[in-house]
Homo-oligomer: A and B are copies of this chain.
Amino acid sequence: MIRSRFSGTDDLEFIPSCVYDLIFRCHPPPSRQPIPSNSVPTLAATDSGASAKVIDGKLVSKQVKDEVAEEIATMKAATGHVPGLAVILVGSRKDSQTYVRNKKKACEAVGIKSFEVNLPEDATEEEVIEHISEFNNDSSVHGILVQLPLPRHMNEETILGAVNIEKDVDGFHPLNIGRLAMQRRYPLFVPCTPKGCMELLHRYGVEIKGKRAVVIGRSNIVGMPAALLLQKANATVSIVHSNTKNPEEITRQADIVISAVGVANLVRGSWIKPGATVIDVGINPVDDAESPRGYRLVGDVCYEEVSKIASAITPVPGGVGPMTIAMLLSNTLESAKRAYNFK
C-alpha cells in the first residue's frame, strides 16, 4: 500500500490494526454505470435495483470547465483581460511534474494564461519566496500555486504564507480557513478538492441542510475544510479520524460520507447507511501485478460493497479527482473577476 497524496501522518494512523488484514479482501469494481456524458446529472432515477447512481466527476468537471471557458470569453470581450495562473514547482518529482503539466493544459483549454517557474530540488526558501513576490506584484497573475510537497528543507508554512491572500487560489491560507469556519464570514477562496466534493453534491441535487454528514480524515487540505463546508451548508457534521474508536458506527449514521483518509478500501459496506451518498476522495495506488504499471488506483471506499448500499457514489478514478483541477480554474476566474471588477 502506497500513501495517497491526500493522506497526512495522522490520517494513516487511522485504522485499528485488527482492520488491516480485512482491507484487501475488498476489490475495486469490475465495471461502472456512468450517466451518459450528454445528460444532466440527477439522482432522481437509479441505474438498477440495488446499485448506486455513479456520480460522474469527469462529466461534471467538463461542465464546470465549459462554463469557466464561456465566462472567460465574455470577460475578455468586455475587459480585454484573461485570468492568469502561476505555478511554482520545486524539484523533479514525477507526480508533481504530471500535475503541473495537467494544470497547464487545463488552463490553456479554458483560456487562462499560464505562468510557470521550475526550481531545482536544492533551491533555497528565499528563491521560492522571491518568485512568489514577483507573481504577487504582477497584475496579470490572479492565482499563485506552489506545488506540494516541497523539498524537506523548506518550511511549507512560511512559503505558502508568502502568497498574497488575494491570489491564494488554493484557499489554504489560515485567514481563508478561519473565514470558512466562521458564520457570516466568507473566504476569498475555498480549497479546490473539498469545493469539488460540494459541487458534485450540488450538481447531483443531494440535499445537505439538516442531513447527518461524516467526514473521514481531517487533513488541512481536504478533510477539515470539507467538514467546514458541510457545516456552512447546515449539515450536522462529525469528523472521524485516527483517534476515533468506533469509526464504523459513526459513519453508519451519515446521510453523506466524504472520505479523505488515504487508506485503500477502508470504508466497507457495513460502514454505510442504506441510501447514503458517498464521496470518495482517496486515490490510493495498490500493487497489481496484472497492470502494466504494476499498480492500480483505488479509493478509500470499497466500491464493490458500498455501491450496493449507497444511493450515490463517486468512482475512483473519475470521481472527485477531475473536480480538483476544475475548481482551481473556477477559483482563478473568480480572482480575476474580482481584480477587474467584472460580475
Contact B239 A181 (CB under 8 A): no
Q: How far is the CA of A10 from the CA of B234 in the complex (A)?
A: 10
Contact B179 A174 (CB under 8 A): yes
Contact A244 B210 (CB under 8 A): yes
A96 within 8 A of B: no
A159 within 8 A of B: no
Q: How far is the CA of A174 from the CA of B188 in the complex (A)?
A: 12
A50 within 8 A of B: no
Q: How far is the CA of A237 from the CA of B231 in the complex (A)?
A: 12
> Within 8 Å CB of A153, what residues of B?
none
Q: How far is the CA of A179 from the CA of B244 in the complex (A)?
A: 22
> Within 8 Å CB of A245, what residues of B?
210, 236
Q: How far is the CA of A181 from the CA of B178 in the complex (A)?
A: 7
A234 — nearest CB in chain B belongs to which residue? Answer: B243
User: Which stretch from A195-203, A217-225, A285-293, A300-308 is at the chain B interface?
Assistant: A217-225
> Within 8 Å CB of A183, what residues of B?
8, 10, 218-220, 224
Q: How far is the CA of A237 from the CA of B218 in the complex (A)?
A: 11
A240 within 8 A of B: yes
Contact A181 B177 (CB under 8 A): yes
Contact A231 B210 (CB under 8 A): no
* Ranked 7 nearest A-B pairs via Cβ: A174-B178, A178-B178, A177-B178, A238-B238, A234-B243, A236-B244, A210-B243
